Structure formats: structure tokens, C-alpha cells
Amino acid sequence: MQFRYSNQKYLPKLVQCIAGRTVLMHSLIVIAVGIALYANTLSVPFLFDDLLFVANNKAVSTYFDTFVSMAEKYAKLPPEIAISMGARRVTYFTFALNYLVHGLDVTGYHIVNLLIHLAAALAVYALVSTLLKTPFFSDHPAGLLCPGFPLVTALLFVSHPIQTSAVTYITQRFDSLATLFYLLSIMLFLKARMEKSVKHQAAFLAASVTVAALGMYTKETVFTLPIIAIVCEIMFFRAKWARRILFLLPLLCTMLIIPLNMMSHMGTTGSASEVFDASINSDNLTNVSQKEYLLTQFRVIVTYLRLLLVPVNQHLDYDYPRYSSLFDPSVAMSALFLSGIVLLAAWAYCRSHIKSHNAWQLRLFSFGVAWFFITISMSSSIIPLDDMIFEYRLYLPSTGLFIAVIASGMLVWQKLGLSKAHISKIATAGVVLILAVLCVATVSRNYVWRDPVRFWEDNVAKAPNKARPHQYLSICYKNAGRYAEVVEQDMIRIRLSPKSPSNYQLWNDIAVYYMNLGRGDEAFAAIDNALALKPGDPRLLITLEWLSDSFGRRAEASEQRRAVKGLQ
């Protein structure tokens, strides 16, 4: 039976029904892919900063203890942790809820991180879908030309292996949750701008501001959110600036939250400069100037782009070189390359003002590039952070790059002059192949995360000349009772940091491990090295006494006892 419409008024309802089913189907695909990729991460143990910020953080475990005030809890914390908890209250609240429900069982933490990741991927889908309905696209129906654009963007986001550092790594809920709020706030802002009813405009704008405020209390990266809102206003809407400012002003006011929040800690944690330094984690890189950090970031951003386009050689703790001159060939070439991308995006934006069949790809490309550079600026600019590079810092900027890459890909296919049928088939095959490769890479990367020894062995293999990965691998070997390998890693640490003031402690530990292995000569040689660095240290003399007792050197043991008693 053929169904006929007797009245055109039923057509919009049919379109809405089909669109609703498409959105539901796409959402289910994104969720299914995300769950499949991260199902093997629920038992990943606490790693790296997880121990400092979550597992061993007494303020998290006593968060809901009504008998201890928050001021008392903060007073017992190191300054950097106390400031972090004050600045990122929303994230720590979620950690505290995790601890309240299941203590230190990592499964619950990973489930929450996965739910946030899935929600962020759906927010990417909603954001891109909303962008394609803005006034700019009324003359350029991108949704009709590429109905799968939001789905492909969301799938790239949910499946890319670079995201494992923000999802599988428990502590970096800071980034994933902040990104979720960021995406939702921008999407709600776009909704407010497209509403006809003043009442609905106010409701969506209030929701956008509320979500932005939550993001500001989640992580400082959300500071750039109002700037992205301005970019959206310029690129996708038409109105007099007086009207535009009415929409933008509430979001711009949220930029005060982070500096005011920092200032609120001045009375208890030190001067304004100390609060600022701690809030941006620069206290761990006191010997790195703003100039050196900025110049190095030109190279870092190129590395970020490479990781997003070709995600190989991933690891947590990078051994990244520092640069101090703009005329260094690596810095100069990186600066020129990045400047070229920015100029290309500016050209694409100007070109997109000319009405043509490819104007919408050019506009989305320029928007994606702007999103990437604006959002990455919080970690890759003049503010020196605790490390030159971390993969989780790409979680928010990656959205912009995915949009730019898909838009440019569509533009290339269109320029080839193929029929729509051929473009659809080739593009679909290409997307499926790319997503399959990304999914395999993500599962493989999560496999590495599952075992601490395997994780740090992988990191040491990729950054062999950095001491910190060797330190964490040494701890893992120690927990596994593999003392010979502990000694090997500690010896490497001494070689990499020969002037470290704590080397005498490492030699002392090495002597103890050799004692446990029954290797007396190496044990005495190690303790001699320790005493050479810190002669007469009571702890070292006690170790020497243990060694003398263990290996039957009674006379030496008696002499060491007298020496220790003399020091006491």
C-alpha cells in the first residue's frame, strides 16, 4: 500500500520523527563503541598522580566527615593539593562520592570516567549538530550535504587512542569532566542564539552560564570558553553587536571565577604570586622561564598534531627537549608550520564569505582550527606548567581538530569531481577503515595501562633517558619482589641524575636489596658509595651494621654499633 500525504502540514512531523530516530541510532552507536573500547580498563590500578590526588588524599576520604571542617582538612594538606582542591571543587566532589560509595575499589572510578567520556562524545555530537543549524548554514545546508558529520566527529572523539590519557588515567577526570561542561555550555549558548522566544533564549543562556560556572570549578582550561562563544558568534550568526553583547556578557562574566577563586586562597596559602604559581603547577619547573616554555611549546603543539593524526609512540611521561632560542631550527620550522595553519584557516574563513557550494567546509575548517589553538593555549603558551607535554591536554582541543579534518576531507572529495554516490561510498569506506585502526590502537593502549609493570616498562622504553619513569618502574618491581630489577632501575636513576642530593638514599636502598639477594660484595660496595656521599649519616651506619651482621662480619658490626651510639 502506498502512503500519500494529503496535507503538507504532516511533513515537518515526519522529518522530526526520522531525525529523532537517526539521533537515537547515532547515539547508541557512539555509546556502544565507547563501552567496547574501555571495557578492559575497569581494573586499571591507581597510577602516577592517582596516588597523590585521590588514593592517598585524606581530604578525599574524609570529605563527608561532618566532624572535621573543610578548613581543618585543607590545613593538613600540602599547599599545592589544598589549592587544587579549592580550584577544582567539582571534580574532587566526584572523587569523594566515589570513595564514599566503594572506597578505593578502582572499578567505580573507571565507570564514572567512562560515563563522563561517553557523555562528552554525545556532547560533541550535539554541538556539531547544533552548529550545522546556525544561521550561516541556512544558505549552505551542510546537514543535507553531509548528514553523518556529527556522527563521524563523535566517533573520532570517542575512539581516538589519545583520549586514554584522560579516561583510563583516573586523575585526569579533571580534563574529561571540564571538557564535558565546556561542550555542553557552548552547545546551550548556540541553542540560546537560535531560539525565537525571549523566554527560551533566557532559559538556554542561563543553563549555558550555569554549566560554564561548573566547568570553571572543574579545571582552569574552561577559562577560554567565552572566547569560543565569541568565535561562534562571529562565524555563525548575524546581528548587531549590541544584541550580540547581550548574549555574550553573561558568559564573559564567568571568566572572573577562576582568578577570584585563586584570590580566595591568598589568606591561607601565601601571597598572590605563590597562589598563582601553585594554581598553574609551575612550582615543579621553577628553573624554566616563560620564554623557554613558550618556545618549547611550538615543538610540543606540532607533536600534539602528529599524535592526533598519527597516534603512535604514546606514553605518559615524555622526555621532551627544551628550547631557548626562536632561531633553533626545530623551533623556527615549528613556528612557521603552525603559522601556516593559522593563515590557512584565516584564508578559509575569508573565502567562506563567498557564496559557493564549498563555503560551509571552509567555515567549519576555520572554526575547527580556531577551537584547537584557543583551547590548547591554556597549556601551551607563556604559563609554564608542571611538564612540557601531556597527552590528556589534547582531550578538549581534539574536538576542533576533528571538525577541521573532516571538513577539509569533505572539501577534497568534492574537488575531485566525483559523483555523490562515489563520494559517499569512498568516504564511508575510508571512515570505517580509519575508525577501525583507531579502535585497535585504543584497545592496545588500554591493555598497556592495565598492568603497572607493563605500563612503566613501555614508558621507560620510549623515554629511556628520563629518571622519573625509571623511579616508578623501580617501585613496581619492588612491589612485585623483583629486587634485582629494582637495583637495575635505581642504578639507572643515579646515572641519569648524578648530582641529585637524594642519591645517597638510593645507594642505601640498593645495599639493602643486594643484602636481600645475598650478594654481600655488591651490598658493601653500595653502602660505601652512600657513605662517600654522606659520611656519618646514622641511617647509613645502621644499614652497614645490618650488612655486617648478615654477612658474618661481627667485628665491623660491633664497630658500627659504637659509631651509631656515638652519634646518638
3-class state of residue 268 by DSSP: helix
> pLDDT value at position 2?
43
Cα–Cα distance for residue pair 128/545, rounded to 1 Å: 69
Q: Is 101 helix (H, G, I), strand (E, B) or coil?
A: helix
Give the number of C-alpha atoms closer than 13 A to the C-alpha of residue 66, restricted to the C-beta side. Answer: 0
Count of CB atoms situated within 10 Å of the CB of 534: 15
Parts of the chain with a pLDDT under 70: 1-20, 67-75, 139-146, 265-287, 415-424, 554-568
7-41 residue pLDDT tens: 445 445 544 554 557 888 999 999 999 999 999 99
Domain residue spans in the chain? 23-449, 454-567
**Nearest-angstrom CA–CA distance, 402 and 380:** 19
- DSSP-derived letter for residue 395 is T
Q: For the structural domain made of 454-567, what CATH number should be given?
A: 1.25.40.10
pLDDT at residue 6 in the model:
43
pTM summary value: 0.89
Q: Which pLDDT does position 238 carry in this prediction?
A: 86
- Are 396 and 375 in contact by the 8 Å Cβ rule? The answer is yes
Residue 349 grid coordinates: 574563513
Spell out the residues 6+ positions from residue 158 whose beta carbon is closer than 8 angstroms to its own: 30, 33, 34, 37, 117, 118, 121
- CA–CA separation, 20 and 13 (whole Å): 10
For residue 547, the model assigns a pLDDT of 86
What digits encode the pLDDT tens for the residues 332-346?
999 999 999 999 999
**Positive or negative, the Cα torsion across 520, 526, 531, 534?**
negative
